[in-house]
Structure 1
Amino acid sequence: MKRLFLKDIAKELNVSKTTVSLVLNNKGDENKISQDTQQRILAYAKEHNYVPNQLARGLSRGKSETIGLIIPNISDVFYARIAGFIERQAKGLGYTVIFSSSYEDPQKEGELIKSMLDRQVDGLIVASTQKNQSEIDALKNINFPFVLIDRHYPDRETDYVIVDNFEGTKKATEHLIDQGRNKIGFVTLKPGLEVMQQRLVGYQDALINAGIKPDKNHVSEVSRENFMEEMGLEIKKLVESSSSVDAIVFSTHYLAAAGLRELKRLNVEVPKEVAVVSFDELNAFDLTDPPITSITQPASEIGRQAVDILMDKMEGKTNGSIERILETKLTIRKSCGVA
């Protein structure tokens, strides 16, 4: 079906395009357009299923009624959850969300920010690669409304919503210690993201507080690009070396999934031989045998607060930076040896 435009209605009814626009935006009376003309325009638009151009309408009021959302990967279950909550929250406020994935590429992230600005979005929500400080500074310098989620730049004052990564892994490690585990491994990504560093420090802090000396041989790092291939060697080192572990904390859900596959391949029994905890979770973690203990992040609250802060910024309701650090929750399942 051919889309109907304002000019088409104007031509068919022999009136001006401006007249059609005013009537369809409920401004006919105040502009003294006759009732007969208004009724003809409204009836014709309804009969032909006219759909207004939201972007054009928004721009006429100085707004596009769109929000840009840049995340590392929309297929990642954690970011997909956040994106879904942001979309629903924004829709309820009359905004459309434009999604893009940076795939942890700082150059692509920079290009996406520029593209979003070119599309005249009203604001941005970004889970940054943490390697684009100049782009963040540029947004601040032009007073463009944006909120960082999941990651932020610690030495920059910006609006952000993150979780307490340090406390999350600290509590998980403390729980393992309480269960009698004292040779706890940690599998994480190679250095780059501050959130991963905070999770590592939380794990180490729990060990030190319990009088357990951190063992560098119990910390394994894999690359984001090749973690599936590298995981086999790292798990083998953790469970088959002279200083083998009796528990493993994985710094992300996808590392946990890959690690569990390797433990199964090596016939290592979970939790009898090795207890397992994952930072964040997959939907299947409560269905596996055994179900996997997880550090759960409040995805819905991250999305809700990010949109609320952005709206306040776009409407000029707040001054200064708004910083929110949300708590995680340890969801205990049988992979730690307890129900």
Structure 2
Amino acid sequence: MSKRLNISKSTISIVLNGHGDEKRVSKDTQETIIKFAEENNYRANQLARGLSRGKSDMIGLVIPNISDSFYARIARRIETKARLSGYNVIFSSTGESKERESELIESMLDRQVDGLIIASTQQNEEDILRLKKSNFPFVLIDRRYPDIETNFVGVDNVGGVAMAVEQLVKMGRKRIGFITLKPGLEAIHERLVGYQQTMKKFELEVKDGFVHELNYETFDEQMPAVFEIMLNSSNDIDGIVFATHFLTASGLREMKRRKVLVPNEVAIVSFGQMSAFDLVDPPITSIAQPVEDLGGRAVDILLENLKDGITAYKQEMLDSSIEVRKSCGA
């Protein structure tokens, strides 16, 4: 690799072991090394790391649902980046169950993982506090406990939804609805706040039938009733922001059933993406979350803790971007 890239072995070792920023290796050089390593299936030599340290060279990843494309992409990034630094990743899904999350954390600790990355149910303060008290290295992603100081990497949910509403306003829409989940997760609450603040900013009315909070377990069954209310003459919604990509997919099915013309009758924007959004007609405007950066930064912070100990907690909020397509009338 050193000869192929014309980069010193020491620099390559620094980058592959997750210390590129610390050692001030340029971003371009780091990306060149990581890209080459991924393309050539390079693995750091775990034996050279030394079993005498009493380490397992394993990281545990706890997420709500591995079949969800958002978390699947995060898991892939975490697995790739951790592997390049000589760590294997074991992961499991909680199914949004507090009890299951607690069981998985305990199981991974029993397997002597070196650290944890957790997208929590936000109902498990006891285990999070226990990990913190024991000084065990872990990073929360996407979801955090506002009253507990921990490592955290998340997304600016308020700003992301603000971009979605602003895009619809830009396209001349004034009766903009919001379809979301029932409160429980901080991220979901923040997205509702983003909607409310932006509607107020543009002096747009939010009537009783404009906002709908659905159950995670039954949102598909609830969607027909939601559109019955949104599309009636008293509301006559002309734009909708969906708080998640899976709510968008469900809403699209219902709109197709009702023969609602997008964007002529109702323009839509999705918070979050699915690969299918590029293929449907019209393609769906969406708020793109920085999945690669989210997973990558979580690994970076965890590796720093594994190397140097927990000297201070890092909390990073990453910006989203908007991918404008025809569903919003563009």
Query: 5 Å matches for 1:279-318?
Result: 279-316=271-308
How far the C-alpha of 1:191 sits from its partner, in A, is: 1.1
The corresponding residue for 2:101 is: 109
Q: 2:245 aligns with which of 253, 258, 261?
A: 253
Distance 1:324 1:281, change over 3 A: same
Is contact 2:137–2:310 with CA below 8 Å preserved after alignment? no
Percent identical residues: 55
Question: Does the CA contact (< 8 Å) of 1:58 and 1:65 recur in 2?
Answer: no
Distance 1:100 1:215, change over 3 A: same
Which residue does the alignment assign to 1:333? Answer: 325
Which of structures 1 and 2 has the bigger CA Rg? 1
Distance 2:189 2:322 in 1: 19
The count of corresponding residues between Structure 1 and Structure 2 is 284
1:73 partner letter: N
The Cα RMSD (Å) is 1.4
- Residue 117 and residue 263 in structure 1: after superposition, are their counterparts in 2 closer, same or farther (change >3 A)? same
1:78-116 deviation per Cα after TM superposition (whole angstroms, max 9, x unaligned):
000000000000000000000100010011001111111
Post-superposition offset of 1:123 = 0.1
Listed one character per residue, the Cα deviations across residues 32-55 of structure 1 (whole Å, up to 9, x for unaligned) are xxxxxxxxxxxxxxxxxxxxxx79
* Aligned equivalents of 1:230, 1:287: Cα separation in 2: 25
The answer to whether the 8 A contact 2:244-2:270 is kept is: yes
Is 1:176–1:247's contact at 8 Å kept on the other side of the alignment? Answer: yes
Number of the residue aligned with 1:268: 260
Structure with higher RCO (Cα < 8 A, 6+ apart) = 2
Q: What one-letter code is carried by the residue in structure 1 that aligns with 2:101?
A: E
One-letter amino acid of the structure 2 residue matched with residue 235 of structure 1: F
Q: Distance in 2 between matches of 1:231 and 1:213?
A: 23
| 1:178-189 → structure 2 map (5 Å cutoff) | 178-189=170-181
Q: Which 5+ residue runs of structure 1 have no aligned equivalent?
A: 1-53
Aligned to 1:321: 313
- Superimposed CA distance per residue, residues 214-271 of structure 1 (whole angstroms, 9 cap, x where no aligned partner): 2232001111111111111112211125112101100000000000000110111000
The reply to whether residue 71 of structure 1 matches residue 54 of structure 2 is no
Question: Which residue does 2:10 correspond to in 1?
Answer: none
**Residue pairs, 1:77-226, within 5 angstroms:** 77-226=69-218
Equivalent AA in structure 2 for residue 174 of structure 1: E
Take 2:269 and 2:256, find their aligned partners in 1: how far apart are those partners?
Answer: 15
Quote the offset at 1:162 in angstroms: 0.1
Aligned-partner Cα distance in 2 for 1:59–1:124 = 20
Question: Within 2, Cα distance between the matches of 1:199 and 1:314?
Answer: 33
Structure 2: distance between partners of 1:318 and 1:66: 18
Which amino acid is 2:195 matched to? Y
Secondary structure of the structure 2 residue equivalent to 1:315? helix
Residue 223 (structure 2) aligned to one of 225, 231, 243: 231
The structural deviation recorded for 1:318 is 5.1
Letter in 2 for 1:167: G
Partner Cα distance (1:164, 1:192) in 2: 17
**1:120 Cα shift?**
0.3
TM score, norm. by length of structure 2:
0.84
SS in 1 for 2:206: coil
Letter aligned with residue 276 of structure 1: I
Greater alpha carbon shift after TM alignment, 208-217 vs 191-200: 208-217
1:7-40 deviation per Cα after TM superposition (whole angstroms, max 9, x unaligned):
xxxxxxxxxxxxxxxxxxxxxxxxxxxxxxxxxx
* 3-state SS in 2 of match to 1:217: coil
Unpaired runs of 5+ in structure 2?
Answer: 1-45
Distance 2:224 2:273 in 1: 21
TM-score calculated relative to the size of structure 1: 0.82
